[in-house]
Structures are given as structure tokens and as C-alpha cells.
Structure 1
Amino acid sequence: MKPKLYYILVFILLLGCQNETNLTFESLVFENETCADCPEVSIAIPKALGLTKISKTINNALEEELISLLSFDEEIEVNSVDDALQSFKNGYLELQQLYDDEPTGWEATIEGSISYEDSNFITIALDSYLFTGGAHGYASKRFLNFDKRKGIELDNSALFKNVADFRTFAEEMFRQKEDIPKDKSINYTGFMFEQDSFYLPENIGFTPKGLKLLYNPYEVASYADGAIELLLPHREVKKYLNKKP
């Protein structure tokens, strides 16, 4: 084999290895039993395959989120998604016993998807809708960010070199998007930031188009306003990140 051809083949092989950095997932589906006295439950989330640390971390984090969303019966110790489904059902049945004239059943719809992935990060978006009586249900989105190399879930603060610097930048971009003058209160146009001061949302996650800041309903605005989003392009936020996507 000629040396030049050999190096070309090695380069192609290395390039192929670099492109095979994405994790492998399968769909994991949970559904409650179908009966007249059962709430409607539909859950579909990605399950990371393999025995790596990052796969275990992702699967455990998603299970914890489902347990948190579905746990309603304090008398049951909830250690698994199946326990959480039973807890959700028990919560509904208990309410039916107290208010037997309640005509509307409970509902839980939860869907997970890969929002973004590169060699360093993976972000999973968890969309949920829960109705447990009242005038309307509650829809929300949860971003879960992970460091693939370390195999750990990341708090929002761990995404940035300096959170204060990023918050200042994010407020500037938020004011531009929402037409809030620099010399006016952040609540000038009707937002409801506590203490009249801008703060980052609980949910921050990567998407193909950039870093998304998402305030779920009630977080800084009324339910009628829905979720408030701010999408910052990758090129504008990369200087604030600990690792560049």
C-alpha cells in the first residue's frame, strides 16, 4: 500500500469514529391500565442503551422526573415509575371518593425527546401535560442537560463560566425580544418577575438552533400568556459556556 493512500484511509476511519459519538436510545412506553375508574396515562421517553455511566445517569434522571410528576399518594413509598403510576391512580380514586360528583377524569401525558447532542453535551426535553381537576390542566417543559464525558447531569449553573455575566447578557436579549426599554423595570410590559428583577428560568437547554431559556406558565407571566421563551444562537452564547457545543 502506498503511504499516501494509507494516511487517507486512516483519516477516513478517524473521521468516522468522531461521527459515532451519539448515544443510542430506544423508546420506553408506560400506560396505565384501562378501566372506568382509571386516569388516562400515556408516557413515552427515550431510554439510553448500554452500561455506560452516562446511560445510567440519563435513565435514572428521567425516572426521577416521572416519579416527581406522578406521585400523588403520600401513603405509598414511590421507588419506581410503576409505583408512581399507582400513586397517580390512588390520588384520583381518593378524590373520587371525596367528590363523587366530579365528572372529569385525570390525565397525564408525558413525552421525552432528544433536544440536542454533540460530543460534550446531550439535552433531553420532557414535555408534560397533567390534568387533575379544576378549570384546566397544566402543560410544562423540562430540560435535562448532561455532560457525556463525565457521565453526570448538569445544573444550570454548571453550563456557564460565570452565571452573573450570562444573566446580564440574557436580560439584554430578553428586553430586546420583549420590547422592554433599558431604563424601565423588567416588569414594565406586564411580566411578573419577583422583586422586579430579571432572573434566569429553571429550564435552560440546548437545541439545534441555540440555547433556549424557557419560563413555564406562572413562572414570570400568567397562565394565559403560556410559556415564555428566549432562543439565543450558539454563536452568541458560546463565549459564556464552560464547553462550546
Structure 2
Amino acid sequence: MKRICKLLITTILFTNIVHIYPHAMLININSNSGENPILVDKIIREKTSFINIDVEIPQIVGLSNKEKEKDINSDILDWTNLWIKDAKDTSEKFKPNIPYEMQARYILTNDKYILSFFIDYYQFSGGAHGITTRNTYNINIKDGNEVLLKDLFEEGYDYKTFINEEIRRQISKNPEYYFTGKEGFNGISEDQSFYIKDGKLIIHFPYYKIAPYVTGMPQFEINYEIKM
């Protein structure tokens, strides 16, 4: 029988799942692992003749594993600084008449057992429109380790087939919004981008990955209560 994820978010969701799927198995999560960590703002603002930078990124405070906390915060800050540097170097090289726009904001989507959030990095460097890059983060609050998509499911469960079939089902409702063939959806990857919100798994794809720009960044809500 197919099994559901082993990392679920709340006791309420646990009750619903067990009622619908009596065979569901959950990981043993220690709810007494301490206070939930929080996200605090790291603000970077700068304005020149060629670029406007307005950045608010998160830094984690309160993980019990301080080394992991430091590493994650450094990764976020390093990625952001490199993103800014590349744009600044380009703006100073080309000296655009209309300044480049750089903006970053983040959203916390879950803070129980798994700290889940994403950062949207928007950049306009001329042309018809800007582009947003979304970086997602999922962290086990208990040990500070990154949570991968496979970690949400029982070992040995074919989670890729389950998710792929659900995404194809949702795409089939509006196929005109997506690319087809090799350019379209051909299955999730090992390092698939995702986040958790309201007890559900949200699978995320960047601009142009499986759909044209007008479709936006495709996202697919995977409800663990779907009967398969």
C-alpha cells in the first residue's frame, strides 16, 4: 500500500491523515525540542545612478544547532551578495539610462517541526519585463538539517510517481498554459524546489522551466489527503 509522508506539520493534520489512511506512519518528532526559531530581517539598500537596491532577506535565530544556523544564514547572505554584485558590475559597465531595479522579499510558510520559507529575488535590467528567482528553504528544526523532498515520505515509497501524476493531472486542466514535449513537464528532479504551507506540499518551478513567462512561476499544491 502507498504510504504518506513521514514529516507532517500539526497534530490536527495527523488526526485527519490517520482517519483517512489507517496505515499512515509518521516520523517520531520530539515536540519538546525547544522554542521555534524565528526569521529576522537583514536589510540591504543602496541607490546609484545606475541601480536601485531594496533587499530584505531572512536570517534564522533560534535553531538549537548553532553551526547549522550559521551555515544557512551565510549561504543566504552569500547568494544575495553575489546576486547584487553581478547586477552592480553590469550596471556600471553599461550605464543604463533607466536604473536597474533589485528587490528581494521573503515569506515564512511553516514554522512547526520544519522551518519552511522562500525568498523572491526580483531583477529588472531593461527589456519587456523583469524576472523573479525564488529560492526555497526547508530545515528540520530539531537538528538543523536541510529537508529534501524524499525526506517527507516513507523510505522506499515511489513519491516521484505520486507527485508526477498529480502535477500532470493539474496541468491537464489548462494545458494551454504550459510547454509541451521536451520543453514541458517531464517529472520532478532530485533537488526539486518545494515548500510547505498549511500542511500541504507546494512544488515550485521557476519562470520558463515548464511554461511561458505569462504563466508565471508554476506551483502545484500536493494534498496528502488525495486518495490514490
Same fold (TM over 0.5): yes
Give the C-alpha shift of residue 107 in structure 1.
0.9
Q: In 1, are the aligned partners of 2:200 and 2:222 still within 8 Å (CA)? A: yes
Residue number among 19, 30, 49 corresponding to 2:44 in the alignment: 30
TM-score for the superposition, normalised by structure 1 = 0.67
The verdict on how the C-alpha distance between 1:212 and 1:151 changes in structure 2, with shifts beyond 3 A counting, is: same
**Within 5 A, what are the aligned runs for 1:1-245?**
18=32, 21-32=35-46, 34-35=47-48, 37-50=49-62, 52-72=66-86, 88-96=87-95, 102-119=96-113, 121-161=114-154, 165-179=158-172, 190-192=178-180, 194=182, 198-200=186-188, 202-235=192-225
RMSD: 3.1
Q: In 2, are the aligned partners of 1:25 and 1:46 still within 8 Å (CA)? A: yes
Structure 1 unaligned residues grouped into runs of 5+ = 1-16, 73-87, 97-101, 181-186, 238-245
Give the C-alpha shift of residue 127 in structure 1.
1.1
Q: What CA distance in whole angstroms lies between the structure 1 residues aligned with 2:129 and 2:177?
A: 26
Q: What CA distance in whole angstroms lies between the structure 2 residues aligned with 1:163 and 1:191?
A: 31
Q: Percent identity?
A: 17
Higher helix share: 1
1:184-207 deviations in whole A, cap 9, x for unaligned? xxx897424637662116421111
- Structure 1 consecutive aligned stretches of length 4 or more whose deviation exceeds 6 Å: none
Give the C-alpha shift of residue 173 in structure 1.
1.2
Q: What CA distance in whole angstroms lies between the structure 2 residues aligned with 1:90 and 1:196?
A: 34
Determine which structure has more spread, i.e. the larger CA radius of gyration: 1
- Given residue 160 of structure 2, which amino acid in structure 1 is its aligned partner? R
- Given residue 111 of structure 1, which amino acid in structure 2 is its aligned partner? R
Number of residue pairs the alignment of both structures matches: 193
1:31-54 deviations in whole A, cap 9, x for unaligned? 11x33x141111112222257234
Structure 2 residue matching 1:31: 3-state secondary structure: strand
Q: What CA distance in whole angstroms lies between the structure 2 residues aligned with 1:115 and 1:68?
A: 25
- Of stretches 153-162 and 165-174 in structure 1, the one that deviates more from structure 2 is 153-162
The verdict on how the C-alpha distance between 1:28 and 1:173 changes in structure 2, with shifts beyond 3 A counting, is: same
Give the C-alpha shift of residue 64 in structure 1.
3.2
Structure 2 residue matching 1:150: 3-state secondary structure: coil
Q: In 1, are the aligned partners of 2:153 and 2:159 still within 8 Å (CA)? A: yes
The verdict on how the C-alpha distance between 1:159 and 1:94 changes in structure 2, with shifts beyond 3 A counting, is: farther
- Given residue 35 of structure 2, which amino acid in structure 1 is its aligned partner? T
1:97-143 deviations in whole A, cap 9, x for unaligned? xxxxx422111111122221212x11121112111222211023221
Q: In 1, are the aligned partners of 2:56 and 2:106 still within 8 Å (CA)? A: yes
- Of stretches 136-145 and 157-166 in structure 1, the one that deviates more from structure 2 is 157-166
The verdict on how the C-alpha distance between 1:189 and 1:105 changes in structure 2, with shifts beyond 3 A counting, is: closer
- Given residue 229 of structure 1, which amino acid in structure 2 is its aligned partner? Q
